[in-house]
Amino acid sequence: MKIKEMMEMIKLHHPHVRETEVKKLIKRASDQLCSETNMLEATFYQNTTAKTRYYPLDDDILEIKSVKVSGEEIPRMVGGLNLEDDDTTGGDVDGN
């Protein structure tokens, strides 16, 4: 079923709902279905900056399965974040 057909069906039963709201609800339902079934996978690229640890994520990202930097897979972090470790020591990669 195409989005236009879905919108027509919803408008038929709920004529008071605006088109933009219907589109948002269909997108939310689609995102939830994709998340629960893992039926959609995509690759996202993020430019990085030296000494920057945290980056905002695109709203389209539902789940992160792996992270690679320069072709090398980065292991998942185990445990919680150390909020005192703000990485502002100015040291090199080895901490010196």
Q: Does 44 map to a domain?
A: no
What's the number of domains the chain is made of? 1
Decide if 49 is inside a domain: no
What is the pTM for the complete model shown? 0.43
For residue 24, tell me if it sits in a domain.
yes
CB-side neighbour CA atoms (13 Å) of 30: 12
Asked, for residue 21, whether it belongs to a domain, the answer is yes
53 is a domain residue = no
Higher pLDDT among residues 61 and 16, named by residue: 16
Helix (H) or strand (E) holding 86: none
Report pLDDT for 85. 62
Average pLDDT over residues 5-26: 90
* Domain extent at residue 20: 3-37
At 16 the pLDDT is 92
Long-range CB pairs of 82-89, under 8 A, 24+ apart, other chains included: 87/51, 87/53
CA 55 to mean position of chain CA atoms: 12
Q: What is the mean pLDDT of residues 71-75?
A: 88
Mean pLDDT across 44-53: 84
- Whether 14 is in a domain gets the answer yes
